[in-house]
Amino acid sequence: MTIAPHMPAGVTLKRWYAVHKWTSLVCTLFLLLLCVTGLPLIFGEEIGLWSGASVEPPALAGDLPRVDLDRLVADARMRRPQDAVLFLSQDDDAPVWFLSMGHTPDADEDSAVYVYDGRTGALLLEPPLRQGFMHVMFALHVELFAGLPGTLFLGGMGCLFVLSVLSGVVVYGPFMRKLPFGTVRHEGSRRLTWLDLHNLLGIATVVWALVVGGTGVINTLARPLFAYWQQTELAEMTAPWQGKPRMTAFSSLNRAVAAAESTDAGKEIAFVAFPGTPFAGPHHYAIFMRGKTPLTARLIEPVLIDAETGEVAAVRAMPWYITALSVSQPLHFGDYGGLPLKSVWAVLDVITIVVLCSGLYLWWKKRNMSADQFAVTTEGQISSSGVPSIVAGVR
């Protein structure tokens, strides 16, 4: 950190300490909530299989072709003839398709989700919606049961958390100047031991904290970012069809998918948005393609298919802000490396809970300490009466 010549080092450090203290105090309780709810979400797929909320397709001999997708749509419409098909998405790893329906084409919430075997077309599961333990954990973690305002509020807490981590790093350097890295002193008070442990765990997880905190903030912007994409990029792609009568019958989904796949042999279907949904508009299938490598599988590209003719209408790469969002979402929960990386994420999450709780404990013990009591020696070493006391770790 560069210190201006006219500003004493102690004054600057006290200001950083104040930033660290108050940003931490404001966001710590919400970060604890996010850590606790995020822990089961890391293992959401495994918990879903264990609890029966999700299912794996049966093992079948041979490499069977993809199921007739029109058959899946027809089956879903037969089960809920009054509802509209919204999305059809393909599982990342297993031969499984998820078909969601809504009371209207532009419904905000699904009315039903059907899980199909991608080889035989057999219905594997109709999971219950908006109930159960994992739903509660997800809703608390994402929106505090308050919709978009709750999501944006958590994004604000995430920004404070990132600032808390950065200011904690600035404060940590002078404090540890005369102590070997990893020192945890046991000869003094209990508060001193917890202080050393808090600082050690915080600095050891600082990179992970910034990654998870930063990607968490980006993820809270998902709905506004996609809404902006719909109003700009998608609106430009569908502009030639504006003013045409709304369609009531659509061409074959199989034909639309084949047309989309013909645009790039190196990509596969991620999901399909049906005509009438906000992701497609009233006259098109929007077929979102993804790469086949671990990295490019996170990057999607929309292909608009004319729902009347089944021909390609437009292809356009996603803008940078959607790409950033697509990459940040799996990184936030450690979805890139399977169960081993998820386990690492879980351990770091638990460490973060310890850091947050220890930070609250340290603040409570020294809550009456003023900024003027934050003493700094001539060498820049923070004395034991003015050590940092709140978060250096993460959600």
What DSSP letter does each residue of 192-260 carry, written as one string? HHHHHHHHHHHHHTHHHHHHHHHHHHHHTTHHHHHHHHIIIIIHHHHGGGTTSPPPSS---HHHHHHHH
Q: State the average pLDDT over residues 339-343.
A: 90
Q: What is the mean pLDDT of the chain?
A: 86
To the nearest whole percent, how much of the chain has pLDDT over 70?
90
pLDDT at residue number 9: 59
Query: In which band, very low, low, confident or very high, does the pLDDT at 368 lie, cut at 50, 70 and 90?
Result: low
Q: State the average pLDDT over residues 195-204.
A: 87
- Residue 133 sits at the vertex; the CA angle it makes with 128 and 135, to the nearest 5 degrees, is 60
pLDDT at residue number 259: 96
pLDDT at residue number 228: 97
Q: What is the rounded distance in angstroms from the CA atom of residue 165 to the CA atom of residue 391?
A: 7
Residue 88 burial (CB count, 10 A): 24
Residue 321 burial (CB count, 10 A): 15
Q: State the average pLDDT over residues 282-295.
A: 91
Q: State the average pLDDT over residues 53-67.
A: 86
User: Of 28, 55, 173, 39, which is closest to residue 114 (Cα–Cα)?
Assistant: 55
Q: State the average pLDDT over residues 190-205.
A: 86
pLDDT at residue number 385: 31
pLDDT at residue number 186: 82
Burial of 7 (0-12, 13-18, 19+ CB in 10 A): exposed
> pTM here?
0.85
pLDDT at residue number 393: 31
- Give the containing element (helix H, strand E) for 155: helix 147-175
Q: What is the rounded distance in angstroms from the CA atom of residue 70 to the CA atom of residue 48?
A: 28
pLDDT tens digits along 25-52: 899 999 999 999 999 999 999 999 998 8
pLDDT tens digits along 245-287: 887 788 999 999 999 999 998 999 999 999 999 999 999 999 9
Query: In which band, very low, low, confident or very high, does the pLDDT at 320 lie, cut at 50, 70 and 90?
Result: very high
Query: In which band, very low, low, confident or very high, does the pLDDT at 376 lie, cut at 50, 70 and 90?
Result: very low
pLDDT at residue number 384: 33
pLDDT tens digits along 80-121: 999 999 999 999 888 999 999 999 999 999 999 999 999 999
Q: State the average pLDDT over residues 325-351.
A: 89
Domain spans in the chain, listed from the N-terminal domain onward: 9-45+137-220+337-373, 66-127+251-307
